[in-house]
Structure 1
Amino acid sequence: MLGLSVDRLRADMNRLLALLFHQGVLDEQFLQLQQLQDESSPNFVSEVVNIYFHESEKLLRNLRALLVDKEFSDYKKMGVHLNQFMGSSSSIGAKRVRNVCVAFRAASDQNNRAGCLRALELLEYEYCYLKNKLHELFQIEQQRILAAAVRYPVQQHHHQQPNNP
């Protein structure tokens, strides 16, 4: 653990972020979130993202429950859930999840149940991928913070008596 340098961990984080941008998983909005994080709120991004995960899982459960119901006809309710999902995904920069929501929304506007089921499968897949990758990112970040703390131990201030000449 201590062998990992702060710089290498920072490079790992940057590589992972670059990959997620390249894959279109994240967009600039995620960087804007990161810019709001500072010494006064060192866990800002992970806190915001964890709230997003919590909300998203509720929305996914609701969407699946709606679609599994044989008597299903409430496309309007589905649209409300999808609008919420689109909004929260945009706000954290979850670009691919948001794009799947848009396609899902189009299928629900056309009352296309088969299209909705396909979109739900894809949405669950994209969401899991995002969640795993962001967890990975936050783990590296935690290690980086720990490594930095080890490298720069907090100085204990001992009140030394002034040496009398």
Structure 2
Amino acid sequence: MDGIVQLERQLVDYTASLFHEGFLDDQFNQLQQLQDESNPDFVVEVVTLFFEDADRLLNELTKALGQPSIDFKRLDAHVHQLKGSSSSIGAQRIHRVCISFRNTCEEQNVEGCLKNLQQVKHEYSLVKSKLETLFRMEQQILAAGGSVSR
């Protein structure tokens, strides 16, 4: 039993660190509140859809910025989509970079867009890794007979 309590404490601390370090915001809490017994995997499913969407959008952004003639309106539309989906799961740091990215699209600043693309990819990689760790911790607690409070 002490092991479960220790795992639950680690989960609480880890989750708090994600908020403290700005990876997540209150939207993630709201997403968690939508999960219940009738849909116990809701958050994982929503976040997994975000990962799939973000991977697709990052590929589109990379392709668009690799073109000899850049369509900044199309580029901005992809960034806008990524900004919205990151906001919907509470991925605050990705959302912030997308705001900067949209500004460089508006300015048609190729160098700025390339820098923002790298920054978005970096933040996305961090958030994805941290959320996957969070979900693994939750599964470990549930498998040990503990509970994950929302």
TM-score, normalization by structure 2: 0.93
The answer for the alignment partner of 1:39 in structure 2 is: 37
Find out whether 1:79 has 2:76 as its counterpart. yes
Q: Residue 73 of structure 1: CA displacement? A: 2.2
The Cα offsets for residues 115-142 of structure 1, whole Å up to 9 and x where unpaired, read as 0000000000000000000000000000
Q: Is 1:16 aligned to 2:14, yes or no?
A: yes
**Structure-2 residue corresponding to 1:59:** 57
Contact 1:4 / 1:147 at 8 angstroms: preserved in 2? Answer: no
* 1:123 pairs with 2:120: yes
Aligned to 1:10, the other structure's residue is in SS state helix
CA RMSD of aligned residues (A): 1.3
Q: Unpaired runs of 5+ in structure 2?
A: none
Amino acid in structure 2 at the alignment position of 1:111 = Q
The runs of at least 4 aligned residues of structure 1 exceeding 6 Å deviation read: none
The SS at the match of 1:39 is coil
Structure 1: gaps of 5 or more residues: 150-165
How far off its partner does 1:37 sit? 1.1
Q: Which residue of 2 aligns with 1:6?
A: 4
Q: Identity of aligned pairs, percent?
A: 43
**Cα shift at 1:77:** 0.2
Instruction: Read off the aligned partner of 2:98 and give its amino acid letter.
Output: C
Deviation at residue 4 of structure 1 after TM alignment? 7.2
C-alpha separation between the residues in 2 aligned to 1:42 and 1:19?
23
For residues 96 and 62 of structure 1, what CA distance do their matches in structure 2 show? 20
Q: In structure 2, how many angstroms separate the alpha carbons of the residues matched to 1:4 and 1:128? A: 33
- Alignment length (residue pairs): 146
More helix by share: 2
Residue 6 of structure 1: how far off its partner (Å): 2.4
d(CA) in 2 for partners of 1:4 and 1:83? 46
